Structure 1
Amino acid sequence: MNEPFVLFSTSHLLALLLLVVASLLLYVFRHSLRHRPLGRSIVRYTLAGLLATSEAVLDIWNIIEGAWSPKYTLPLELCSLTLLLSIIMLLTKNRLLYGILFFAGIGGAFQALITPNLGYAFPHIRFYQFFTAHILIILASLYMTWIENYKPTWRSIGITMIFLNLAALLVGITDHYLGANYMFLMHKPSTASILDFLGPYPVYLLAEEGIALLIFIIMQILFFVLPGKIFRAGKSRSHSAI
């Protein structure tokens, strides 16, 4: 019998630590990789390959277990969509996709990592697949930011909100016809999540909109606005000292 996943258990915390370590390594070696085209290509294609592998592993496991169903296992969750789009972004270096995935990919995957909708504990294959996939979604956008030197704009936040609402509309239609609950548009997940604090259906859907927008604005400020101001202030002091 499979052990149920326990929120903030040792294995959960170690998985979160892995995200932190992997992100720090990517940041520490950013300058080195920027000046090594071959190294950049290896990291970029490796991330894309691992993302594709993680999705394939999930589909194969569902088929083997007899759990595959259009009602439950189509890639229509937000993180499934951003995973597939992250592969395309890495392969094509598409700036429009980057602007969307920096916010929707990192924001969505990070929330999923904090409160996983997961029924299997370590060392089940679904535990490995879930955390690997979501960590890679975040690393894909961080790679494009720190290594390829891409930067989203304030306009990217608006485009991301449009993308999320269009995706919700299309997925919501699919949910209606399949009797499914992709993106939790029909009801909350059975496991603990941030949605538990956002009110009943459909109030939590509207609250999600506001929270997403707020998170995207905070991300833009923390990743780009404040570092830019600190850099300019430091540069100004250096010139003044000369």
Structure 2
Amino acid sequence: MQKYVQSVYKHDPFHLFSTEHVVTLAIIALLAILLFLFQERVKQPRASRSVRTSLPLQLSDLSVYLSAIMLVTKSRKLFVFLFFAGIGSSIQALATPDLGMFSFPHIYILFFISHGSVFLSCLLMAVIGTNRMGQRSLWVTVLLVNVYGVCIFLIDRWLGANYMYLTKKPGGSSLLDVLGPWPWYIVSAEAITIASFFILYLLYRIFKK
């Protein structure tokens, strides 16, 4: 290596289109051709594809983290939000899981434990807590879920993703298949969400009485 960095160069001068020159140009040309042929893969690297599918942005995923905070802080506001949004989204996720090609055990166990824990955490807080909820809490949760949905829709458009299934239906059969095409299934899902919140509210009132 020392001979290449010495102050006085004692080797042959550069020759135009010598073997070394031609081989170097050929390598650069080959890399340019490969870059052109595989441009779609370059535009969509693996990390980018992961960002579009693996961020915890689904409402049920967010509920997993919020339920842990709720249990530690005993927050009434988090309990009210999670009683509707957390239980509702977790029941939907547990009943119609979107696990793609994964089956037992893989992420199967983690998925059901995490989403099941949201359901059980909310029930635990309902049993041991003295929190009271009125219909205003229900509508505040509906508003918050919709604001979150708008934010996720903008993120979906930015990343080319489909979190909360706001840009298209998930692959394979799902509950959304019977709710019409996009964007009408979003309207139908909104109505179902509000109806499920009312059912949860009535069950809570009956339970507390």
User: What TM-score do the two structures reach when normalised by structure 2?
Assistant: 0.73
Residues 1:152 and 2:152 aligned together: no
Unpaired runs of 5+ residues, structure 2, are: 1-46
Q: Which residue of 2 aligns with 1:212?
A: 193
Verify the 8 A CA contact 1:107 1:216 in the aligned structure 2.
yes
Q: CA RMSD in A?
A: 1.9
Cα shift at 1:177: 0.6
Q: Which residue of 2 aligns with 1:27?
A: none
Q: Which residue of 2 aligns with 1:201?
A: 182
State how far apart, in whole Å, the 1-side matches of 2:192 and 2:164 are: 15
SS of 2:164 mapped into structure 1: helix
Moved over 2 A (4+): 148-153
Residue 142 of structure 1, aligned match among 116, 120, 123: 123
Residue 149 of structure 2, aligned match among 168, 172, 180: 168
Residues 1:184 and 2:147 aligned together: no
Q: Which residue of 1 aligns with 2:50?
A: 69
| Structure 1 range deviating more: 76-85 or 189-198 | 189-198
Cα shift at 1:68: 7.6
Q: Which residue of 1 aligns with 2:103?
A: 121
The percent identity for this pair of structures is 40
State how far apart, in whole Å, the 1-side matches of 2:147 and 2:48 are: 28
State how far apart, in whole Å, the 2-side matches of 1:179 and 1:189 are: 14
For 1:95, give the aligned amino acid.
R
Question: What does 1:16-31 correspond to in 2, within 5 Å?
Answer: none
Residue 62 of structure 2, aligned match among 81, 87, 106: 81
Verify the 8 A CA contact 1:77 1:182 in the aligned structure 2.
yes
Unpaired runs of 5+ residues, structure 1, are: 1-65, 232-242
For 1:193, give the aligned amino acid.
S
Verify the 8 A CA contact 1:115 1:192 in the aligned structure 2.
no
Aligned length: 163
Task: Show CA shifts across 1:210-229 (max 9, x none).
Answer: 111111111111221x345x
Cα shift at 1:86: 1.2
Cα shift at 1:125: 2.2
For 1:121, give the aligned amino acid.
S
User: What TM-score do the two structures reach when normalised by structure 1?
Assistant: 0.63
SS of 2:50 mapped into structure 1: coil
State how far apart, in whole Å, the 2-side matches of 1:221 and 1:176 are: 37
Rg comparison, structure with higher value: 2
State how far apart, in whole Å, the 2-side matches of 1:67 and 1:128 are: 26
